[in-house]
Structure 1
Amino acid sequence: MTQETTTDDAPGRVIDTTRGLSAADVAERVARGEVNDVPVRSSRSVGEIVRANVFTRFNAIIGVLFVIILAVGPIQDGLFGFVIVANTGIGIIQELRAKKTLDRLAVIGEAKPRVRRDGVTVPVSADEIVLDDIIELGSGDKGVVDGIVTEAAGLEVDESLLTGEADPVLKKPGDPIMSGSFVVAGNGAFRATRVGKDAYAAQLMEEASRFTLVASELRGGISTILKYVTWVLIPTAIALVISQYRINESDTPEAIRRMVAGVVPMVPEGLVLLTSLAFAVGVIRLGRRQCLVQELPAIEGLARVDVVCLDKTGTLTEGGMNVTDVRALDAALPVRDALGALGTTDPRPNASLQAIIDACPAPSGWTCAATIPFSSARKYSGATFEVDGERQTWLLGAPEMLAKPGDAILKDAEELGSQGLRVLLLVRTGAPVEDLAAPYDADSARPAALVVLEQRLRHDAADTLAYFADQGVATKVISGDNAVSVGAVAAKLGIPGADHPVDARTLPDDREAMADILENNTVFGRVTPQQKRDMVAALQSRGHTVAMTGDGVNDVLALKDADIGVAMGSGSEAARGVAQIVLLNNSFSALPSVVGEGRRVIGNIERVSNLFLTKTAYAVLLAILVVIVNVPYPFLPRHLTLLAWFTIGTPAFFLALAPNKERARTGFVNRVLRTAAPAGVIAGAACFTAYMIARDYYGGTEETRSAETSIATLTLFLVALWVLAIIARPYTWWRVVLVGAMAAGFALVISVPWLQKFFDLKLVGTTMPWTAVGIAVVAAVLVEIVWRIIGRRMAVDA
């Protein structure tokens, strides 16, 4: 069989579609650049990672301030600049580690299209496909380039990811096929006519497959916070530099140092970096468990999920099946021969048909004349055979679809299904299968046998389901199998509601009515692909965050529409292509790890956000009070850098990566601002009070400024340390050590002479230091009271 190409550069070129291209043909096209070279990456490039971590709004602000301090000196006041360099470096290193992990996993999980070359079908990477390659298609395969169908055996293609139209399109030789579409039934082959960037939706597929930092509540919340900070920072800096210039008798360098000291702590510079760091470490940890995270926020998203929709086959059960019984219903019919013959009609059999192939060898003398492939919407497959000069049509599929309503066969099938077995009905019918549009007529069918198959439960399914139940995450088992059979499997796994499964054919089309049924039931059988999608939408309409697991083409639409799609590594290429998380080792038990990583990221970033924003709040308040009262700003940049080291930067690094099992909640920005703002105001007020008392006590002269600053620094450190102690709860041995180490570090600075000199800190006398401690204790008590009151209110609101 040959076909003439339609490419503009070689109008007479002839391609043997049965053999495909030769090695010379491939080399010729590679030399001309006719290769599918669209760079589909699983992660950002090294350059993008560096730019994202270095060229940020706040790095620019801090960088400018650092350059200013270097100009006016001394170097001690520029220490904050080195902290930014260190934080940025850590962020880049961790993201590069995450990139390495993701790229390795992406190669492992990459689907390889099957291409005919030199008469042999070989798997190749998508970027190795060249123009005019003959690419084979089977159920679940995705079109990676544009082309023209050359062979089709009941080939049905879903183009919904490109056109939005959910109905499968029947393809015949000569029909176009677009990149991004996927096969839902049948098999065939097509010739690549447009590759690389010329292919339709090539850019769409590149963006959809890229490891992205798309919007999430966590990142969106932090972005909102940073926007508020920017609005406050600029006018405060202007007012502060003017006031300090006047107070310091036109001493420009001193005014600049005091302004920088007031502005730098307003910037939560490490917050974005720590968020990226926490996500990157999460990716690395999940990579070790063979979880490919295709979008960063998926880690966060799954932690927020409150409903998990599970496809039974491939998720709760293992992929393989065994035929346990073939119950003949008509002794005159050649049941096993028919089953064996049907097994030869599909070059890529699903698990059920593979079990039948293993149990029933192919007979001789049966020649296939036409086939109708299995599809999730139809729920049966079939073929017409030439047997001893006679045409025989056999169908195999769901008993509910092939038997007449009320037939006793359905009762037998239901009884078997109630034991957790999968049951298929084999029928012989007089209607040919050539006309795929013809509706099935049960009256013309002759039931031949019930095929009973046993599914193997995943050994880890029960523990995983128990974990979700313990975490308050509802599970919905949604399957295309018989509802009673699905209920029996669910019952073995201890899923609540398994005793009253729902047949999806009885579900209403109205979304609200469907949502009511979904809220009150757990197990659903005979669900069509479109119904899976509708069920996800119905749950989302009730405010649920929905995760969908699946491995087949029938799950693609639901995986795409769910908040989080989770695909099995051994599943169809289409399912893996639209899912945010791919379990490469097909282990359902990996899901709790993903949930745990998400909760760790969300909970820990919320913790450290409180530290950073408490600092922002007290920095803003101090700047405003200094301008209003018209006094010198109490700190130099080195003092606030020191405070940031011991109360924010170092502890935040450890807290951001610590274990955290707190359940994720919405309203991140509101919660952080409600706790951090009051704590910051109390800390700032206490610091300013101690500073003003010290000015009065020491005399408020240029010579006493160091002593006054030391009192303010001690007061602010003690209050900030208590905020850290609150945020570190619940205490573990390492958290206690962390808080203690920060206190010891500060004590070392104010007691060692050369460190005192370096940071210009020295406590004078005993009266004011103890006064500072007293003010800090009162402030700490107020912070504790306010924190508990707000905590109780937020608990009630939740």
Structure 2
Amino acid sequence: MADEENPAGPGAVATIPVTDVDLAVGLTAEQVARRKADGKTNDVPGRASRSIKDIVRANVFTRINAILGVLLIIVLATGSVIDGMFGLLIIANSAIGIIQEVRAKQTLDKLAIVSAAKPQVRRDGAAVAVAPNEVVLDEIIELGAGDQIVVDGTVVEGEALEVDESLLTGEADPVHKLPGAQVLSGSFVVAGGGAYQATKVGKDAYAAKLAEEASKFTLVHSELRSGVDKILKVITYMMVPAGLLIIYNQLFISQQNLGSALSGMVAALVPMVPEGLVLMTSLAFAVGVIRLGQRQCLVQELPAIEGLARVDVVCADKTGTLTENGMRLSELRVLTGEDAEVRDALAALAGDDPRPNASVLAIAESVDHDPGWNSTAVAPFTSAKKWSGISYGNKGNWLLGAPDVLLDSQSDAARTAEELGAKGLRVLLLGSSDRSVDDASAPGQVTPRALVVLEQRVRPDARETLEYFAEQKVSVKVISGDNAVSVGAVASSLGLSGGDRAVDARELPDDRDQLADALDESTTFGRVRPDQKREIVGALQSRGHTVAMTGDGVNDVLALKDADIGVAMGSGSPATRAVAQIVLLDNKFATLPYVVGEGRRVIGNIERVSNLFLTKTVYSVLLALLIGLSGVASQIFDFDAMPYPFLPRHVTIAAWFTIGIPAFILSLAPNNERARTGFVPRVMRFAIPSGLVIGIATFVAYALVYSGPHATETQTIQASTTALITLIMIAVWVLAIVARPYVWWKIVLIAGSVAGYLVLFSVPFTREFFKLDPSNVAATTVAVVCGAVGIGLVELGWWVSGLISGDKRRLFSLPESPAA
């Protein structure tokens, strides 16, 4: 079996392992079947591989469900099934979370299959594309530029084969691989071609464990999720002293029986739990995945939805992003020599390229004859040197590459190429050299033979996309390996600001600070090397920018990896798709605004509903503390202690129309507000003052109408109703503030909440069922007055906080951008 490691280390020449495999033919069908039967396959979990079992466990066994479950058991032990209605939240939280995450998983799994790299393997003498998990031990796998190495192996054929192992080692320089050298899964080919034999597959492969961890469906590791988790931990710690204080007050100070004391404790603790906050966050992310999936956008890491919403700079490659991949030969301008010889040379170069790019494919379509030349040496194209070549013995040494790299910039041919490039055309030079293309000093003396002029088709939706980013104050930097003049012509035709002043990246400074200054001044850059793309991303990040990088070629991989968000085209190289967080399977740059819009919807809406849930938590904790502390004070100053004012059913209905239903609707609503950092501080700046106002106003209203420990049941119910009316009035106004700026459906939502409470308080059946009695005019007047004062304070606080923080307050929404 071919599973021996190369003792000389990667890159060294070693003896090719001897197996029963014919390297030219590859495995036979019988050999493949035998290895599959023996379990020698590359069977590793793929992206989005979180199982149904994991999803169910993660949504059922949560901290919030555990807290609510314990409280439900306590209430049911008292015999009051009605007061245990909040237990339905456990079922709702789990069911909705499971259903939406399973739908999101199914969407991700289907898209991931479409996006997956399919290596070319030799079987029965033919090259066959198979899924990575179908590769078996000893497989002969062919390699070309941009191909990802899916399993560990040993090179058996190599022609100027260069492999980038930066994703494994962090070393950016490509490694030249000779036959016998090891290649590791997780690396990719940057130049040349060849084949390797699989020596380690499945979990034995070098990068399998890393890939398994990195590929899991996850909802964490984002500011939004970490902020919510931080808040939940604090709340959990706060509940312990508050619960102990309430139970002490109910049992020992207010002298209530055990059942009433436990009901009061549960009624105090249940609203402290922001039971829907985690659910709404998960739901918003999951729905975002499904919506983007419907637009053929694969989100490989869910927090990328949030991350792209925070992006303020987009670095876009020209080819494949602003322009379509396909090209056509517009003109062949012969400079020296015979036309027939030039066309033969082009046909030979195009025909002998095993992995032709878009430019070579366009040439091959126009010159499709076979001149019958035999190659003697090959130099594959790399982004670093910008040319490729093949030597054909007595037919000469022929090169195809960038005119401004192969020619003297003052030559007539170079000036002609620049003039053509200024029109947005892609220009390549066909030249002949005085030395073999594999010579260390190549390309040597280049004789220009012809200019190959290609037309690039600008994407019809590129202008609209650039205009959208301009409106949203997101800067776009076009960074391309093409001629700067040609890149500038395309950028200018799309109306990109600064596109007419394209910068040649060969003139950019190496110092990061100076590079960042140059990036501030310009938007369009040509002749950018792969390592420079990476440096550009780093320079932008050094100035505090959140950077998204889009690309489709192997030369974009390093920059995609370092960017805050990497966006790859579905038709791009497997290596590019592997490192990107987002893959646009339809290859449409115009999909990006929808991704940005979806991220903004998720972040903005989660912040909205967080304000509601945490306001409830603050006023619940405060009310419990005020009741408990007043009980302790009653022992010192000798006055009647007050029990907790609400039953569990009261806190349940208090949340129905102020939080529960409105939060669900708001979490899925359109929202195009630009994402900002500082989620937790911003939410707490609203929730703490609002919660304090509600808690204090409710306590005051209850204290003013409480009739003492000897009150009748009717008086007790009326006092609870008074406190509940005050709480609901201010909580509905908090909802009205959170829903701003208003559009028609938000006004209907708030009106519906008010109507729902009017029904609950006015219909005899619901009044009896929920133990509500607003018939005492004096007590209800106290409730309305306290509620009105609280509303005024909450409203004033919202405007004042806006002045302090600099946030612009608006009551009504402006028209939204159509692109979002």
TM-score, normalised with respect to structure 2: 0.94
- The residue that corresponds to 1:162 in the other structure is 168
Q: Matched residue of 2:374: which SS?
A: strand
1:680 Cα deviation (Å)? 0.7
Contact persistence 1:5–1:15 (CA under 8 A): no
Q: Matched residue of 1:16: which SS?
A: coil
| d(CA) in 2 for partners of 1:439, 1:588 | 40
1:735 and 2:746 equivalent? yes
Q: Rate the CA distance shift 1:465–1:76 in 2: closer, same or farther, 3 A.
A: same
Partner amino acid, structure 1, of 2:388: S
- The residue that corresponds to 2:389 in the other structure is 382
1:625 Cα deviation (Å)? 0.7
Partner amino acid, structure 2, of 1:416: L
| d(CA) in 2 for partners of 1:542, 1:20 | 52
Contact persistence 1:149–1:191 (CA under 8 A): yes
Between 1:622-631 and 1:490-499, the stretch displaced more is 622-631
1:98 Cα deviation (Å)? 0.8
| 1:278-321 superposed Cα distances (whole Å, 9 cap, x missing partner) | 00001111111000000101111111100000000000000011
Contact persistence 1:343–1:362 (CA under 8 A): no
- The residue that corresponds to 2:352 in the other structure is 345
Which one of 371, 374, 386 corresponds to residue 367 of structure 1?
A: 374
- The residue that corresponds to 1:641 in the other structure is 652
Contact persistence 1:345–1:371 (CA under 8 A): no
Contact persistence 1:690–1:712 (CA under 8 A): yes
1:788 and 2:799 equivalent? yes
- The residue that corresponds to 1:13 in the other structure is 19
| 1:746-776 superposed Cα distances (whole Å, 9 cap, x missing partner) | 2222222222222111123212112211211
Q: Rate the CA distance shift 1:162–1:797 in 2: closer, same or farther, 3 A.
A: farther
1:12 Cα deviation (Å)? 6.5
- The residue that corresponds to 2:557 in the other structure is 556
Contact persistence 2:698–2:724 (CA under 8 A): yes
- The residue that corresponds to 2:813 in the other structure is none
Q: Rate the CA distance shift 1:451–1:305 in 2: closer, same or farther, 3 A.
A: same
1:410 Cα deviation (Å)? 1.9
Contact persistence 1:212–1:294 (CA under 8 A): no
Taking the TM superposition and a 5 Å limit, the aligned residue runs for 1:147-296 are: 147-249=153-255, 251-296=257-302
Between 1:332-341 and 1:781-790, the stretch displaced more is 332-341
1:262 Cα deviation (Å)? 0.9
Q: Matched residue of 2:320: which SS?
A: helix
| d(CA) in 1 for partners of 2:343, 2:176 | 31
1:679 Cα deviation (Å)? 0.6
Partner amino acid, structure 2, of 1:102: L
- The residue that corresponds to 1:134 in the other structure is 140
Partner amino acid, structure 1, of 2:704: I
| d(CA) in 1 for partners of 2:60, 2:316 | 41
| 1:671-692 superposed Cα distances (whole Å, 9 cap, x missing partner) | 1100111011111111111101
Between 1:532-541 and 1:199-208, the stretch displaced more is 199-208
Partner amino acid, structure 1, of 2:63: R
What's the C-alpha RMSD, in Å, of the aligned pairs? Answer: 1.8
1:755 and 2:766 equivalent? yes
Partner amino acid, structure 2, of 1:493: L
Taking the TM superposition and a 5 Å limit, the aligned residue runs for 1:6-45 are: 13-45=19-51
Contact persistence 2:89–2:275 (CA under 8 A): no
Taking the TM superposition and a 5 Å limit, the aligned residue runs for 1:487-566 are: 487-566=488-567
| d(CA) in 2 for partners of 1:48, 1:525 | 48
| d(CA) in 2 for partners of 1:199, 1:297 | 28
Q: Matched residue of 1:549: which SS?
A: strand
Contact persistence 1:556–1:578 (CA under 8 A): yes
Q: Rate the CA distance shift 1:536–1:12 in 2: closer, same or farther, 3 A.
A: closer
- The residue that corresponds to 1:440 in the other structure is 442
1:22 Cα deviation (Å)? 0.5
Partner amino acid, structure 2, of 1:404: D
Partner amino acid, structure 2, of 1:143: I
- The residue that corresponds to 2:410 in the other structure is 406
Partner amino acid, structure 1, of 2:168: L
Partner amino acid, structure 1, of 2:36: V
| 1:384-417 superposed Cα distances (whole Å, 9 cap, x missing partner) | 113xxx1511111011211134323222111111
Partner amino acid, structure 2, of 1:773: V
| d(CA) in 1 for partners of 2:456, 2:588 | 16
Q: Rate the CA distance shift 1:362–1:209 in 2: closer, same or farther, 3 A.
A: farther
- The residue that corresponds to 1:397 in the other structure is 401
- The residue that corresponds to 2:472 in the other structure is 471
- The residue that corresponds to 1:356 in the other structure is 363
| d(CA) in 1 for partners of 2:244, 2:230 | 23
Q: Rate the CA distance shift 1:797–1:762 in 2: closer, same or farther, 3 A.
A: closer
Contact persistence 2:373–2:395 (CA under 8 A): no
Q: Matched residue of 1:313: which SS?
A: coil
Partner amino acid, structure 1, of 2:52: V
Contact persistence 2:618–2:687 (CA under 8 A): yes
Contact persistence 1:140–1:572 (CA under 8 A): yes
Contact persistence 1:214–1:295 (CA under 8 A): no
TM-score, normalised with respect to structure 1: 0.96
Between 1:202-211 and 1:534-543, the stretch displaced more is 202-211
| d(CA) in 1 for partners of 2:457, 2:701 | 71
Contact persistence 2:550–2:560 (CA under 8 A): yes
Between 1:757-766 and 1:610-619, the stretch displaced more is 757-766
1:209 Cα deviation (Å)? 3.0
Partner amino acid, structure 1, of 2:121: V
| d(CA) in 1 for partners of 2:221, 2:2 | 44
- The residue that corresponds to 2:812 in the other structure is none
Between 1:209-218 and 1:679-688, the stretch displaced more is 209-218
1:670 Cα deviation (Å)? 1.0
1:150 Cα deviation (Å)? 1.1
Mind listing any 5+ residue stretches in structure 2 that lack a counterpart? 6-16, 632-641, 810-820
Contact persistence 1:212–1:296 (CA under 8 A): yes
| d(CA) in 2 for partners of 1:244, 1:775 | 25
Contact persistence 2:163–2:188 (CA under 8 A): yes
Contact persistence 1:549–1:559 (CA under 8 A): yes
1:114 Cα deviation (Å)? 1.0
What is the aligned length? Answer: 788
- The residue that corresponds to 2:665 in the other structure is 654
1:231 Cα deviation (Å)? 2.2
Contact persistence 1:698–1:704 (CA under 8 A): no
- The residue that corresponds to 1:597 in the other structure is 598
Contact persistence 2:219–2:282 (CA under 8 A): no
| d(CA) in 1 for partners of 2:218, 2:532 | 29
| d(CA) in 2 for partners of 1:721, 1:400 | 68
- The residue that corresponds to 2:639 in the other structure is none
Contact persistence 2:802–2:808 (CA under 8 A): no
Between 1:294-303 and 1:86-95, the stretch displaced more is 86-95
1:731 Cα deviation (Å)? 2.1
Contact persistence 1:248–1:254 (CA under 8 A): no
1:95 and 2:89 equivalent? no
Partner amino acid, structure 2, of 1:417: G
1:710 and 2:741 equivalent? no
Contact persistence 2:707–2:716 (CA under 8 A): no
1:795 Cα deviation (Å)? 2.4
| d(CA) in 2 for partners of 1:586, 1:439 | 39
Partner amino acid, structure 2, of 1:178: L
1:696 Cα deviation (Å)? 4.8
Over the matched positions of the two proteins, sequence identity in percent amounts to 59
Q: Matched residue of 1:336: which SS?
A: helix
Which one of 713, 735, 751 corresponds to residue 724 of structure 1?
A: 735
Contact persistence 1:316–1:458 (CA under 8 A): yes
Contact persistence 1:156–1:183 (CA under 8 A): yes
Q: Matched residue of 1:88: which SS?
A: helix
1:205 Cα deviation (Å)? 1.9
